[in-house]
Amino acid sequence: MISELDPDYDVLFQRLFDNSPEGVVIQDLDGIVRKVNKAFCEMFGYSPEEVLGKDLDILVANDETLRSEAAERTKCATKGEHFVFESVRQRKDGSRFHVLAFGVPITVNGKLVAIYGMYRDISDRKRAEEELQRSEERYRAIIQQQKELIVRYTPDWTITFANEAYCKYFSSTPEEIIGTSMIVHVPKKIRAKTLKHLESLSIEHPTAISEEETVLRSGEIRWQQWDDTALFDQAGNVVEYQSVGRDITDRKQMEESLRLSGEKFEKVLDETVKVLAGSMRIRDVYTADHQEGVAQLARAIGEEMGLSEDTLKGLWMAALIHDIGKLHIPGEILNKPTTLTGLEYEIVKRHSEVGAETLRGVSFPWPIAQMIAQHHERMDGSGYPRGLKGDQIIPEVRILAVADVMEAMCSHRPFRPAYPLHVALETIRSGAGTLFDEKVVKACLNVFEKGFGFVR
């Protein structure tokens, strides 16, 4: 366990746990709470003493929710998968609120022992969604009453008709609008785009939907969704356009709010990795530089293999801290300029498990801890610590393993100089199909053929 390792490192992760802005809880398989942070207690209105040792199910709003969530949690935990769901929770005072819950199974020596959970209060988002739904219902009523914004205009943008809703929206009367150019309602920065959109309408495809900013008479910028239709004469020429619009500013603002919320969460993860990587640089520059080099090569291999940007992000983060367990290896062993003894080598080999155990308390949307635990496993089962083979090794780890060995061979170490590039590449090539995944080796060779080089 972390408490049995370096005290300073233990304090670092305890701070991450305690100071997380999200409510964090660790519960055993029976649902009993074993550890909570301050944010969790404040969210639910309980003191730590009132929660610790109690069944977490006391926080669930109703029995039906309890049963469905327990079943989902058990299913995912049994498979060793993380799970995410939205639910309604109950505070100590009986009030209810919406949460986004994220759970990660905690295993020790391959055995499931507990669940790490993180809760985020999403009541504001839910209220926004409910308000948006009510707003859309109002819009549907407007459609039924023909109260949507309706405007017709010629190809030179001269308005020929505007209904009462359109006139009211733009604070004008029909007399003030008809005969004028509707270009004044389109911001200058998007006029070319809007014109291109209208010109794309054809007899075969006369209608299209667009979402655009609109300038009101006051100068305020609002968002409109338009159903645009081109009207043609018998010769196939556009004689007029008709646009039916509705205000979607609230929806756009909510989307922006959700985007910023997601960026904030990802920033927290990025900062967590940077803190961990920074801790390693303070302790051992060689290992810190190695991790950065592995991250560069792993991402290049992943891109060569066509992995998604989300998968590449997780791979990059794992590579950047894959040797974090070496923080617990004595410096005289880690940087020993001569051959390690058998006992010293066994100590070094523990770093993958120690690193994985260290990170099990950090909630990542990728299997970072699992990747760190497996990065010295080999396809033929000759690796460590568990001797996994083939499909037992997750795909990202197969990339990480090749990048790890390649970077290590290409770098100077206290006990040996760097190997020539052709020697390192031949070592990787000769291990294809036995030590390393053949597809990964092929991708690795390709990226070097294309001129890849480590940025030191």
CATH code for position 196:
3.30.450.20
Q: Are residues 183 and 282 in the same domain?
A: no
Token representation of residue 8:
């300073």
Final residue of a structural domain among 88, 121, 154: 121
Q: Are residues 349 and 380 in the same domain?
A: yes
What average pLDDT score do residues 304-313 get? 93
Final residue of a structural domain among 56, 86, 121: 121
What average pLDDT score do residues 323-337 get? 79
pLDDT digits (tens, 9 = 90+) for 163-173: 888 888 888 88
Q: Are residues 85 and 151 in the same domain?
A: no
Total number of domains in the chain: 3
pLDDT confidence of 144, banded at 50, 70, 90?
very low
* Residue 234 belongs to domain spanning: 127-247
pLDDT confidence of 80, banded at 50, 70, 90?
low
Integer Cα distance of 157 and 146 in angstroms = 23
Final residue of a structural domain among 91, 121, 151: 121
Quickly tell me which residue has 């051959």 as its tokens: 339
Q: Are residues 33 and 171 in the same domain?
A: no
pTM (2 d.p.): 0.46
**Between 371 and 340, residue with greater pLDDT:** 371
pLDDT confidence of 3, banded at 50, 70, 90?
very low
pLDDT for the residue numbered 135: 79
Q: Are residues 83 and 99 in the same domain?
A: yes
pLDDT for the residue numbered 370: 92
Q: Are residues 322 and 369 in the same domain?
A: yes
CATH code for position 285:
1.10.3210.10
Residues 6+ apart with CB under 8 A from 94: none
pLDDT for the residue numbered 382: 94
What average pLDDT score do residues 84-112 get? 85
Q: Are residues 332 and 429 in the same domain?
A: yes
Q: Are residues 237 and 322 in the same domain?
A: no
Q: Residue 116: inside a domain, yes or no?
A: yes
Of the candidates 377, 361, 454, the one whose C-alpha atom is nearest the C-alpha of residue 14 is 361
pLDDT for the residue numbered 185: 87
pLDDT for the residue numbered 287: 83
Residues 6+ apart with CB under 8 A from 307: 315
pLDDT for the residue numbered 4: 46
Integer Cα distance of 221 and 200 in angstroms = 25
Q: Residue 3: inside a domain, yes or no?
A: no
